Chains A and B, each alone.
Chain A
Amino acid sequence: MTAVAVSQSRARRDGSRTKITVGLSITGLYVLVALLAPWLRPADPLAQDVANALAPPSGGHWLGTDELGRDVLSRILTGASIDLPIALAVTLLPCLLGTALGVVAGYFGGWADAVVMRVSDLLQAFPMYILMIVLVFGLGPGTSSLLISFTAVGWVVYARLVRGEVARVRSAEYVAAAVTGGLRAPRIIALHVLPNTLRQTFVYLTSDLVFAVTALAAFSFLGFGVQQPTPEWGAMIAAAQPYLDAAPWLTVVPGLVIAVLAFGLALLGDGLQDGTGRR
């Protein structure tokens, strides 16, 4: 390795660490806020005070009040404990399902592989957002509908990713040795295949979280997601839309909160990808 190559490699590693550190710090801060929201918020996020509606930011209400006189800061802080768990759930569920199907398809091949791949081909033929909207519309708005639609559509990428990795590992000598040694398939998968395939899945999962956060907000904005009066950030932006002119802070603040979280998660995912040397 030349001196230049060593220097480039070190710079990439340092850049990756910086991204991971900043990304983790931002995400960690949000997680902390989500955990401590009940103690951090200055007021009940659902308490209405219509006489004090649309009040601008002040000493009494640092981020002002909304159209029903509710404290915006309290709603933003509480929103962290609503958006983060849902975003995590709508990312983890398709990940688990996709990983399971990808392992089956990649390890066993044959008809199992054919079925999983044809179904994923079918799903990928549709625009993802449209398919999810159709599913949520059919199921009715709410968190459970979001979980079902994200899982039903989102598993495909994980299944393809894992299938490829498993098929690669499946032909490795240590797996062949385990088969020859008489180990049963589930044991081989658990001990030898999965540990060597999940790194890529994890990296993709962090990127997928960015999509989940923004998609969740978009669904709530469209009225398909979390319902009022729950202080979910996307729903807050939707409710504030008519007041864009009179009370811009109602849309700007939750919008910024979502953007910063997405930025943090994107940095984290980017850093992990750089760290693994794959893109």
Chain B
Amino acid sequence: MPRRLPVRRDRAHLRIAVATALLATGLTACSSAPAENSGSGNPVAGGTLNVMRANPFEGFELDKQTLNSSFQISDAVLEPLIRAGADGKTLEPGLAASWSYNAGNTVLTLKLQPDAVFSDGTPVTAEDVVFSAETWKSGSNYGATYAVIAKAKAVDEHTVEFRLAYPDTALPAFLSWSSAGVVPDDFGGKPAKEFWQKPVGAGAFTVEKWSANGEVVLKKNPRYWRDGLPHLDQVVSTFAADPNTIGLRLRSGQADMADEIWAVTASTLPKEYVKSQPEHLTPVLLMNTEDPALADPKVRQAIGYALDYSALVTSAYKGFGTVPSGALPTNSKNWAAPSKPYFAHDPAKAKSLLGTAGPAKLTLHYANDPSSGLVAQIVQRNLGAVGVTVELQSGDASSTFATVSGGDYQLGMFSYNAISPDVSDPAWYVAGTRSMFTGLNPDPLVAALGDYAGTDDVKAKAAAVTRVQDILFEQAPFLALAHVSALEGQRTVVKGAEITPWGTYYLDTVWKSE
């Protein structure tokens, strides 16, 4: 399952962004209405939603959350200022009713919902947001993302101003991350550790109890500011990773929803139980550019042409995906294609690029989950066909992630996606994680992304994204293997879940028809 590590924007970004500030013009604003639930019929109030999550819950401390399963639960309690639209391309009001930039894109002003209160009845004020912003910035993981907020200032009780260190039109997208949840000023007078154990937020639910590998129980927040929401009285989230268990519990009615189910699980469920989102999740084959056998971009490109992407989509992802059209996840706002066609299965071209100096043997690290094992075997077969022997090395998800993120590998498998409606989100992730663990110099990517953030011109943004795609195509530090749909297992009695392309949804709009 995709794991999100914090994006780390470095100083290079700051310099480039300042240089492009002169190009930035206009005003960005949003004040659209909250999303209506998409379920059929009139919502029914009450009931308990039993959800199965595929990953542990990492707790409510905002800076420590890296998994979709954590983001979703956290959002329900510690509502952020801005929400991600279900289409994965729009932003919607959260605790901020509207937001706007100044002409230079250096000041972001947010107007708060006037009726919003925390679950203990205290009103949500600009001072709370100022304290929250300082909390986000102090995090060792996500702090760098919010370092662009040079100063947070309460203009009045319901207006807050973020003065930016450099023009950054992408910041509202990053404010929709769960890491930007709003907390009460000074944690409501509690020590931080105590607060995170049972936080008080302005979200639709309150915390009844939680454990990482067990149940998370959320209760309806009767003071929630959105009229008529949430519909449910209670949400119980249970951790279960085994595909057979998930399938059986859904069918038997013990679970109402199962988040982030594997394609193989989806393929065995009745069709009406499977909600498939637009293709977005992007599994990748990582190639360590610092390994002598893979240092030459031609070798990495050759591997790109050796792979049978159709076989991967058919077999490993059971048809819930498409062949890759670029290195960046599709169905994101401002996504643009590379200027040349992305890699396709062409063994002859692969052999030609490899020449006589290609690597004879490589080791591939992968997690022993239902999809990765199949991908690894197909990759092994494909590379064997062009003369490269691949030794497979499986491990559990955590140890495999530690291996590849530590750079101690030749070939590795990973999956990445956006967690906000902006293509720069996953692109920053690549740049901020040593070009996604491959050792590729991120400076050219950072330069392109700096241009992207510094402008609000759509064409200029598209050009910057194409530059990123081209770099990732020419240098091929990793290969997108497919663009895959996020899959949700859902009983037909469940309505109103508006699922983003990366697989999360807000719990307040969900209801059950029975």
Residues of chain A having any CB pair with chain B under 8 Å: 46, 48, 50-51, 53, 67-69, 140-141, 223, 227-229, 239, 241-246
Contact = CB atoms under 8 A, between A and B. Distances in A.
Interface string B378-409: 10110000000000111110000000000000
A52 B275 CA distance: 26
A227 B392 CA distance: 7
Interface of B: 243-244, 247, 262, 264-265, 267-268, 311, 314-315, 368, 370, 373-374, 376-378, 380-381, 392-396
Contacts of A67: 264, 315, 374
Given A223-B394, A228-B394, A229-B392, 13 more contacts: A46-B381, A48-B377, A48-B378, A67-B374, A68-B374, A68-B378, A140-B393, A141-B393, A228-B373, A229-B377, A242-B265, A243-B264, A246-B268
13 contacts: A48-B311, A50-B311, A51-B314, A53-B315, A68-B315, A68-B378, A141-B393, A227-B394, A228-B377, A242-B243, A242-B244, A242-B262, A242-B268
A266 B267 CA distance: 40
A72 to B, nearest CB: 15
A51 B310 CA distance: 10
Contacts of A239: 373
Contacts of B395: 141, 223
Contacts of B267: 246
Contacts of A141: 393-395
Contacts of A46: 381
Contacts, number: 58
Nearest to A70: B377
Given A141-B394, A228-B394, A242-B244, A50 B376 contact: no
B393 A50 contact: no
A50 B244 contact: no
A50 B392 CA distance: 19
A229 B380 contact: yes
A227 B381 CA distance: 15
Contacts of B370: 242
Nearest to B392: A227
Nearest to B369: A242
Contacts of A242: 243-244, 262, 264-265, 268, 370
Given A141-B394, A242-B244, A223 B377 contact: no
Contacts of B376: 228
Residue from the set B247, B368, B376, B380 with the largest chain A CB neighbour count within 10 Å: B368
Nearest to B265: A242
Contact of B247 (A51, A69, A245): A245
Contacts of B247: 245
A119 B378 CA distance: 46
Contacts of B393: 140-141, 227
B460 to A, nearest CB: 42
A119 to B, nearest CB: 30
What 4 pairs between A and B have smallest CB-CB spacing?
A50-B315, A242-B264, A50-B311, A242-B370
Contacts of B244: 241-242, 244-245
Contacts of A69: 315
B381 A48 contact: yes
A239 B316 CA distance: 12
A227 B268 CA distance: 25
Contacts of A53: 314-315
A46 B381 CA distance: 9
A229 B374 CA distance: 9
B1 to A, nearest CB: 15
Residue from the set B247, B264, B267, B377 with the largest chain A CB neighbour count within 10 Å: B377
A243 B371 CA distance: 12
A67 B395 CA distance: 20
B377 A68 contact: yes
A246 B277 CA distance: 24
Nearest to B247: A245
A228 B392 contact: yes
Contacts of B396: 223
Contacts of A68: 315, 374, 377-378
A229 B373 CA distance: 9
Contacts of B268: 242-243, 245-246
A239 B377 CA distance: 12
B240 to A, nearest CB: 14
A223 B265 CA distance: 20
A222 to B, nearest CB: 9
